[in-house]
Chains A and B, each alone.
Chain A
Amino acid sequence: MASESKLTTMHDAIVRHVPSGSMVLLGAQLEQMIPFAAGHELIRQSRRDLTLVGPISDILFDQLIGAGCVSRVMAAWVGNVSAGVGYCFRRAVEQGIPRRLETVDYSNFTLALALHAAALGVPFMPTYATLGSDLLKKNGNLREFPSPVSEEKLVAVRALRPDVAIINVQRADTQGNAHVWGSLGVAIDGARASRKVIIVAEEIVEPGVIASDPNRTLIPGFMVSAVVHEPGGAHPSPVQGYYGRDHAFFSEYHDQTKRVEDFENWLSRWVLPVRDRHEYMEKFSSERYEALRVREHALSAPADYGY
């Protein structure tokens, strides 16, 4: 009865499911579980004219923009959570380097509502957020309208339907049934809103492990196009229960990307010549890797689904 496995490599998942021109959701869980391995593969495969969607995505958006992969970014915040600004984002917006970048500015809430609308299959969701702001004036996907049921003004947040969502998770089976816990952000709506979903898992487990706790199955496998087993795939962002946040890496990125040539050097070290995530992880000293490991596990109590 077992269906065919969706397990594949990151290289093949990106070849098959993320062509140039795609609208891609990345960083749905905010500062945790950011799909850096997937982003680096997009850079290596020279994707162009991507539209990036996500609430913040930390420095991953900055890297993809700096590498010339992006023509449009639809986000609430683009920068470096540890250090503030992202130099590649600034260069692209201010000077068109390496290419012109269109920005569509959202707030966190309105971006979440845009994905929620798509997840519910309706053209928009109403909110009071952004009334009176310049976000409302400048983002064409936010439109003021009179409430049909009360004497109020509201903002209609147009549904956003990404071509593909790339979601990092703690564990999944080979069908893509995925357990996620900790920082959820907009991951559930993001997966439902998107035409395709790529699951990037720290661990691949037996289907019975996933089925033992269906409340934790936040993304069902039937919605998933590909499953990639990629330990360390979110580094330098953290994965609850697996590894911590490499704060120094974010600060170093800030210091090492001030000028275009600095960023190119950074890419030449960490992305372009690196075959895959395994090779990337081998570039770290064992001390650095060790420092990020979970020092004290904290297992939740089992839930009894018996009857």
Chain B
Amino acid sequence: MRARTDAESAARGFTFSELMVAAAAREIRDGELVFVGMRLPMLAFLVARRTHAPRAIGLFENGIIRETPAKELLYTMGDPPNLRAATQCGQMLDVMGLLQQGRVDMGFLGAAEVDRFGNLNSTWGHRNREMQRLPGSGGACDIACLAKRTVVLLAHERARLTERVSHVTSPGYGLGDGWRHAQGLPLSSGPSAVITTMGVLRFGTDGEAYLASVHPGVSVEEVLTNTGWTLRVADELVDTPVPSDSELDVMREIDPNHFWTR
């Protein structure tokens, strides 16, 4: 699987990670406040700022707000280059306050598991029927509860896209159909996309996920086989747009050795 994927991506001139970064970047609109996170979302934020969203503003849970990119590749949000010449270095409560006020447009999240209604588990993993304790929420639960939109990135595996997560670290649409409102969560909030290594899932008004696009070279059957529930497919299913040259240029300038986009 891996070898075939690499051969295919070489033929196309970009990797699946780069495709995911480009797809993630396009979820950011110009002028938005975005909870960035690390790894692929960090790259996506920088790509968005250098292409279609030059006025997007990045927030980090340690209290950092940035409008200009850090001068070096970051491994953690607390790396010294991320603080130098930041827009503001505040406290965690300052950025979490913006989030709770409803000012934050979008947040990126990762997870061990995502389910049919976009609920995320990053607390307990499962391998060979054994429970594995994972690091936990960090700020993910806060962002999932309070950002206007959330975008999830993860590898597309049947064990990770599961009918129902065993632990709701970060709520999506719960059990669907008005569940978030019933919990008391803000009306305009919740997951808007799940970007995987095979395609992009979006959510219907009932809160259930559907396949909105497949990555080039991936078949719908492959996606369905690797999803742990009967995934709905959009009537107007499209191919995920490939990364543009300018998007790839930015990614490779920031991460020339493909540290994040192997």
Residues on A facing B (Cβ under 8 Å): 29-32, 55-56, 75-79, 81-82, 84-86, 89-90, 93-94, 103, 105-110, 112-113, 116, 127-135, 144, 152-154, 181-189, 237-238, 240-241, 244-245, 247, 298
Q: Known interface pairs A82-B76, A128-B184. Does A109 touch B92 (Cβ–Cβ under 8 Å)?
A: yes
> Is B61 in the interface zone, CB < 8 Å from A?
yes
Chain A interface helix/strand/loop/mixed:
loop
A300 to B137, CA, bound (A): 35
- B 15-56 binary contact with A (CB < 8 Å = 1; else 0): 000000000000000000000000000000000000000000
- Alpha-carbon distance A180/B231, docked complex (angstroms): 51
Q: Which residues of A are found within 8 Å of B179, using beta-carbon distances? A: 132
A-B contact pairs, 30 of them (CB 8 A): A30-B61, A31-B77, A32-B83, A76-B136, A76-B139, A77-B136, A85-B135, A86-B135, A90-B133, A94-B130, A94-B131, A107-B140, A108-B137, A128-B145, A128-B185, A128-B186, A129-B96, A132-B184, A134-B168, A134-B169, A152-B184, A154-B184, A184-B92, A186-B91, A186-B93, A238-B78, A238-B79, A245-B76, A247-B75, A298-B85
B151 at the interface (CB under 8 A from A): no
Cα–Cα distance between A133 and B143 once the two chains are bound (Å): 12
Q: Is the CB of A31 within 8 A of B78?
A: yes
B142, CB-defined interface residue at 8 Å: yes
Q: How far is the CB of A182 from chain B (nearest CB, A)?
A: 5
Q: Does the CB pair A132–B180 fall under 8 Å?
A: yes
Question: Closest residue of chain B to A107, judged by CB?
Answer: B141
The answer to whether the Cβ of B84 comes within 8 Å of any Cβ in the partner chain is: yes
Query: In the docked arrangement, what's the CA distance between A237 and B75, Å?
Result: 12
- Contacting pair B141 A129 (CB below 8 A): yes
Cβ B135 vs Cβ A129 within 8 A: no
User: What CA separation (Å) do A32 and B61 show in the bound complex?
Assistant: 12
Q: Judge whether B9 is part of the interface by a CB distance below 8 angstroms.
A: no
List residues of B (126-169) whose CB comes within 8 Å of A's CBs. Answer: 130-142, 144-146, 167-169
**Bound form: Cα–Cα A128–B84 in Å:** 32
B136 touches A105 (CB 8 A): yes
Evaluate contact between B137 and A107: CB separation under 8 angstroms.
yes
Q: Is the CB of A77 within 8 A of B142?
A: no
For A81, list chain B residues within 8 Å (CB). Answer: 76
Within 8 A of A (CB), among B157-203: 167-171, 174, 179-180, 183-186
- Judge whether B213 is part of the interface by a CB distance below 8 angstroms: no
Residue among A85, A152, A184 making CB contact with B134, cutoff 8 Å: A85
Tell me whether B80 and A238 are in contact (CB under 8 A): yes
Q: Which residue of A lies closest to B99 (CB)?
A: A109
Q: Which residues of A contact B132 (CB under 8 A)?
A: 85, 90, 94
Residues in chain A near residue B241, CB distance under 8 A: none
> Which of A76, A129, A144, A154 is most buried by chain B, counting CB atoms within 10 A of its CB?
A129
Contact B78 A29 (CB under 8 A): yes
Contact B183 A153 (CB under 8 A): yes
- Indicate if the CB atoms of B145 and A133 lie closer than 8 Å: yes
Contact (Cβ within 8 A) B80 A135? no
Shortest distance from the beta carbon of B256 to any chain A beta carbon, whole Å:
17
**Assuming the A-B contacts A30-B77, A81-B76, are A132 and B92 also in contact, with contact meaning beta carbons closer than 8 angstroms in the complex?**
no
Q: Top 9 nearest A-B pairs by Cβ distance?
A: A31-B78, A79-B135, A153-B184, A132-B183, A132-B171, A77-B138, A108-B139, A109-B142, A107-B141
Chain B positions 198-242 with a Cβ under 8 Å from a chain A Cβ = none
Partner of A107, one of B64, B142, B174, B183: B142
Cα(A86)–Cα(B136), bound, Å: 11
